[in-house]
Structure 1
């Protein structure tokens, strides 16, 4: 292995490179990070809290994406990069600990928003330095790294730092501005210079993060019933939630992922870079965000169904939680539709219509029993995935 041959330097990845155990180890901290985003919303569900949680998720997504790109050109299990990976894991773990208090800092101790921003900045700097050290013979990539630092790292960090000194809407608006500048800067600078050496590795990495998000939806259900009695209604709600997660899994891994990887492998140079940026870095975020939003609704449903002392089985979801259940699925479906369009050029009518209907049906969820809403959503998404599959987008 590269780790045994040369522990002192970074080792370039080949075009047949696959995901390493070091990268799977790296993903463990993001399992916890995504769980914390759901907890941030569940602690006090409101439209502002949901927008704030999605802002945090967008920043965490950037931390993960940085090293998905880097791990595609340099082996993550090589000596130098593995040391960086472990360091970043420690920093992201600290970030995750700060997430629940990032918009409502608890009294005493360190400032959670400031800790979050400083650690986020450390991850971005470690990423750029690692890329710089691995690109000594690539002046085009180094030029891109300089532009990225100036346009997509430094200005957002300034806004994040300023925002950490405030609270409420001011903090949220400043952080939203930072995310917009960050993503806009990557769109401007990310069309050339970056490399995707192994399409198989790149696709597999993003498939793993989708699995992590789906796993969070299952964990959320378990947290929702923690400490409460097990009943037939709880078993039914759990089965429905698992069916919904399985339908989303089937949509991605049997229909979307293969088409995207096939297209990525067929491109070269800057065209491959732009496709990877659009389809994976940008369009996979709605998939993860959609699952996290849906997980909030699933968690609340399982809690209501299990807590018979405070809720009846006829109790619906309320407020933003009612929207998050179907709205999260709608975001996922629309993200999937955009991936199909970008990868194949085909119009994914079933996914687009299904996504719009899921978004709009949030208003109905607040008027039907929560368990009924979950069962109906699981059945509807399962049927939609089957219908889309018969449309012929399986792996082209």
Structure 2
């Protein structure tokens, strides 16, 4: 395997690897859309967290070893095959259909295979790195083996019990990162690491645009449908602007100013952990837009005056709220800045479901587009004013705790 250097950028091999994750995200949206209840949303969040962990494992590995080198590329293709199998089982992971392999068990076994391949690849990537090998051993014993056992147990269960057991596995896995520590793990190229995660945000945003098309598939295109599609695109554009114009560069700059374990901890907190709710927020909004477009297009069963109902009504604006609060948390962890615009907007969107259930779906989508656009512009102006007030200098480093 070929080690990377500072200045390393994302390789085509990694973009190829992400194609499977694109499909996985669409499957999570389909999992929620098939049964949009609060319990199913929690279950979908658990599945997304497990899939996200699989992706993050190889984002970290690709930062220290070139993904287009012969050995690692072979591993990546093998992982792609396993992740494809995982993705195929997602829609049936809580409602296994008879006549085929047990979907929950296949999901868990494939997930375990991905985690094992990751740890083995890390182990052989640096034969003489004792600190890394110690971290790999601790991770295997504390953060991989116990959750895998719980996932196996949960695969034999159903309903609420299955989701709770799997949720416990996710908690142990995620919290285990803090128990095993940051020593041994490293971020060689901050630019590569930031770019890698920005691309996955693009994938999530792209899936939300796909959801618009899927929502109207097989239905006639009308003026309200075109208006709703345009409003949905404005929502996605607003989220894109918030991340790529006002968030991503600041996080990358901060990551580049740090070294050693301080850089590793920031990468862990900002990218591995806080980018998950960013992606989850987009997926939730995609669910809301998919259902809204379907309802607007299906004039034979719905009237244009009819609002969205239940979980779907909350997901439309609530997903944006999750995204905004995650963005505010990233700013706080990166630069120590508290964004009143993002926090207020996030809380407002989380509570907007109470209004969405009272107004027509098309109007709700148009109002959400206006709100996201306004928040993006307002936050950009405040950030620009703050930068001008400091002479356009880079923000002072935020003291690590």
TM-score under structure 2 length normalisation: 0.95
Residue in 2 aligned with 1:124?
115
Note if 1:343 corresponds to 2:334: yes
Query: RMSD over aligned Cα, in angstroms?
Result: 0.9
Between the aligned partners of 1:85 and 1:184, the Cα distance in structure 2 is 26
> Deviations along 1:23-71, whole A, 9 cap, x unmatched?
0000000000000000000001100001000100000000000000000
Following superposition of structure 1 onto structure 2, how do residues 1-396 of structure 1 map, counting pairs within 5 Å?
10-392=1-383, 396=395
Aligned pair count? 387
Q: Distance in 1 between matches of 2:223 and 2:347?
A: 33
- SS of 2:383's equivalent? coil
Per-residue Cα deviation, 1:216-251 (whole angstroms, up to 9, x for no partner)? 100011000000000000000000000000000000
State whether residues 190 and 273 of structure 1, in contact with CA within 8 Å, keep that contact through their aligned partners in structure 2: no
Displacement after TM superposition at 1:191 (Å):
2.4
Looking at structure 1, the residues matched to 178 and 356 of structure 2 have their Cα atoms a distance apart, in angstroms, of: 37
Task: Quote the residue 1:3 is aligned against.
Answer: none
- Report the 3-state secondary structure (helix = DSSP H, G, I; strand = E; otherwise coil) of the residue aligned with 1:392: helix
Separation of aligned partners in 2, 1:108 and 1:128: 34
Q: Secondary structure at the match of 1:391?
A: helix
Q: Is this contact kept in 2: 1:195–1:269, CA < 8 A? A: yes
Distance in 2, matches of 1:233 and 1:192, equals 55
Partner of 1:7: none
Measure how far apart 1:348 and its partner are.
1.0
Q: What is the CA deviation profile of residues 267-301 of structure 1, one whole-angstrom value per residue up to 9, with x for unaligned ones?
A: 00000000000000000000000000000000001
Deviation at 1:186, TM superposition (A): 1.2
Give the equivalent residue in structure 1 for 2:390.
Answer: none
* Partner Cα distance (1:217, 1:75) in 2: 30
| Per-residue deviation, 1:363 | 1.4
Do the aligned residues in 2 keep the contact of 1:327 with 1:362 (CA within 8 Å)?
yes
Q: 1:5 maps to which residue?
A: none
- How far the C-alpha of 1:188 sits from its partner, in A, is 2.2
Shift in Å, 1:364: 1.1
CA distance in 2, matches of 1:346, 1:183: 25
Q: Is the 8 A contact 1:192 1:274 kept in 2?
A: no
Measured in 1, the distance between the counterparts of 2:221 and 2:337 equals: 46
